[in-house]
Structure 1
Amino acid sequence: MQSSSQPLLTAPPLSNRYSFPATANLSSFLRRRPKPLSSSSSSSSLTPTRSTMSSATNTSSSSSTTAAAATAQTLLEFMSSNGSRDDLAVLVAHLQYACKRIACAVASPFFGSSAVRNAAGTGRPSSGSGRDDPKPLDLVSNDIILSSLRSSGKVAVLASEEDEVPVWMTDHGPFVVVTDPLDGSRNIDASIPTGTIFGIYNRLAELDHLPVEEKAQLNSLQSGTSLVAAAYVLYSSATIMCISFGSGTHAFTLDHSTGEFVLTHPCIQIPPRGQIYSVNDARYFDWPDGLRRYIDTVRQGKGQLPKKYSARYICSLVADFHRTLIYGGVVMNPRDHLRLVYEANPLSYLVEHAGGRGSDGKTRILSIQPVKLHQRLPLFMGSLEDMHELESYDNIQQKVNPGYEV
């Protein structure tokens, strides 16, 4: 049996394109924007001699790509043009840096099942989740975020799904961050998409007189209506950060030629309806009558939209949510399985600012006051008209929990 003192696996180093500037304000970050890599010189050695006749086309395409990379608006430029506070921009800069490191770790060959076995016995406590009990990559992601946010100097409290209690970082940080560092980590071996989820709140200055443990806990238990910003990062065929600062929901894709997140999906609007539902319907016979009737109705094309709905289910919350946000429909887990603080609140904030709705089946998610850090609840999110139709079936929350993991 391996010693509990065995070091955790560490994330692979970033290239210089992803290096983090030691700066303290937004204008400093913007001045350091890297130039895009030119692909013309590196691609020439890979081009067969027979294809020289198409070299002009290839050069034109390469030039267009480079030009697009040079003119695309980065996340920090977007924040600057929209009048974001400097301290929030610095925090987001550190968050995006952390997510670039996590993206490298997720794509690394050193975090598969053999790495999990080799890292067994690390002694890290479980957060109480069966599905997401800490694994090495969860812990590495958590440590990356902790380190990056601590160095920002802008975070008073970090509450993570991987930790039992929140971490108090500094008395002077203006923000509170809640996070699920790596949702869906059990999918790593199958190369199925994973994601990171964030919520950002203002520190409650009126609690500053309380003991550290108490004020850290209370700062982390703010309702979703108090969110300053929320985001998720999807690690898939592309690395995408979808973020809202309270005025629209916008997606930025990581451009590997510059190491920057660039705006690719401004002002996302979820369709009012979609023909997709996302749920593990292998659990159909454990569902309440209302949910079964809804699913039976829409997949037969007998709902308010007279078209047959299709099922799409990845079993990765961020991936299922991202698809729903782009194409419409509903994504759900009808039993009390997902965490209000770390998952439901940030994602509901994003879908609401894209014109959709997040609910526990009865109540708007953002209106629910958390009472525990790891509080769980049913979660239904998606297109506004689809959500209203779903909730009209009334009995859609699964009360029986047979104990399965997903």
Structure 2
Amino acid sequence: MEQVNYNIITLTRFLTEEQSKHKEATGDFTLLFHALQFSFKSIAYYIRRATLINLTGLAGSSNTTGDDQKKLDVISNDLFINAMRSSGKCALLVSEEEENVIYFKDATQARYAVACDPIDGSSNLDAGVSVGTIFAIHKLAEGSKGTPEDILKPGTELVAAGFTMYGASAQLVITMKGGTVNGFTLDNGVGEFILTHPDMRLPRKRAIYSVNEGNSLYWEDPVKEYFESLKQLQPESKKPYSARYIGSMVADAYRTLLYGGIFAYPADKKSPKGKLRILYECAPMAMVFENAGGQAVNSKMERMLEVVPETIHDKSGIFMGSYDEVEKVKSFHKK
């Protein structure tokens, strides 16, 4: 018989309690996040029903980075844009699916800028592989009505960040500046995100690595040497590392966050700057991993949160995961 839990902490309750801890809070951030929450729930709904209502396959267009757009990419992007516009709290939005910054000029009192990847890993959608949404929230400079400079900032300036993974269930992971990392699960029965993973912490180390080894031909020597070392018998365990690669950043990152290890998408000779976008993939993920006790660096071994994007779709390589595992990566680059 199902046990009834009477002390449920919903995302709505969680945000309200967090707001009450800050006397200067106006409630604007909470309202903005309610709009984000609606987007996540809507995307989760359409993904569940995609095969039944003919939402699988390509939309016949490509996005700013040249990726073919799925029908759900377009729908999710439109959901995000309309949710941010209707919230009245978002001055500008950067989306992977849009070439330029979207400004909401009617939101004259808005104090936030949002960057998002509406569906990360959408090439896996038709195969039923877990995909996700990644988001990052910046606060506008005092007196600003919304300019590109308000969002072309390092991740250290982020107010909040996180991601939603749409798999067997919809999992939402959020963190705020200087705060903990908390995981929520969408209860479809009541239509609410429920706190199921409070204060998430990465194990200090774990012998698991996640990387697309199909790119190894193009890797720089330190990267090759590092991953080759993981395939050897380790001094402590007398076993090699386990390889786990899904091919959807959100799914790989979520597993790494739960179990530890390292996720990598390094820059290489084919993509010297890297493949992942700084604003709405690397920076928000780095904030989550740092606040959970891990690390995130780029291919130059610079702290990912300190990297300043030059353009809204600027790219980077990334290594992120357990603290000691990232330290091991750094040691190979120091040689």
TM-score by length of 1: 0.75
User: For 2:310, what is the secondary structure of its paired residue?
Assistant: coil
Deviation string for 1:55-91 (max 9, x for gaps)? xxxxxx23x1xx22x4210112112223354211111
- Contact map agreement 1:230 1:347 (CA 8 A) in 2: yes
Question: Which structure has the highest strand share of the two?
Answer: 2
User: For 2:63, what is the secondary structure of its paired residue?
Assistant: coil
Of the candidates 257, 277, 284, which is equivalent to residue 216 of structure 2?
284
> Which structure 1 segments of 5+ residues have no match?
1-60, 209-214, 397-406
Compared CA separation, residues 114 and 134, structure 1 to 2 (3 A): closer
Where does residue 235 of structure 1 map in the other structure? 166
Deviation string for 1:254-283 (max 9, x for gaps)? 011211001000000000101110001122
- Contact map agreement 1:344 1:365 (CA 8 A) in 2: yes
- Distance in 1 (CA, whole Å) between partners of 2:278 and 2:303 is 12
- Distance in 1 (CA, whole Å) between partners of 2:251 and 2:139 is 28
Matched, 1:340 2:278: yes
Of the candidates 392, 399, 403, which is equivalent to residue 331 of structure 2?
392
Deviation string for 1:321-369 (max 9, x for gaps)? 0000000000011121000011000000000000001110310011011
TM-score by length of 2: 0.90
Query: What amino acid is the match of 2:287?
Result: Y
Of the candidates 364, 368, 386, which is equivalent to residue 303 of structure 2?
364
- Contact map agreement 1:289 1:395 (CA 8 A) in 2: no
Query: What amino acid is the match of 1:342?
Result: Y
Where does residue 224 of structure 1 map in the other structure? 155
Query: What amino acid is the match of 1:186?
Result: S
Q: CA deviation at 1:112?
A: 8.8
Q: Over the residues paired in the alignment, what is the CA RMSD in angstroms? A: 2.0
Q: CA deviation at 1:171?
A: 2.6
Where does residue 354 of structure 1 map in the other structure? 292
Deviation string for 1:191-229 (max 9, x for gaps)? 000000000111123444xxxxxx432222121001010
- Distance in 2 (CA, whole Å) between partners of 1:114 and 1:155 is 28
Q: Identity rate of aligned residues, in percent?
A: 35
Larger Rg: 1
Correspondences of 1:198-213 after superposition (within 5 Å):
198-208=135-145
Question: Which structure has the highest helix share of the two?
Answer: 1
User: For 2:199, what is the secondary structure of its paired residue?
Assistant: coil
- Contact map agreement 2:19 2:30 (CA 8 A) in 1: no
Aligned residues: 320
Q: CA deviation at 1:286?
A: 2.1
Q: Which moved more, 1:88-97 or 1:104-113?
A: 104-113
Of the candidates 171, 176, 192, which is equivalent to residue 108 of structure 2?
171
Of the candidates 121, 124, 133, which is equivalent to residue 187 of structure 1?
124
Where does residue 331 of structure 1 map in the other structure? 263
User: For 1:252, what is the secondary structure of its paired residue?
Assistant: strand
Where does residue 15 of structure 2 map in the other structure? 79
Compared CA separation, residues 89 and 236, structure 1 to 2 (3 A): same
Q: CA deviation at 1:111?
A: 7.9
Where does residue 375 of structure 1 map in the other structure? 314
Q: CA deviation at 1:252?
A: 0.3
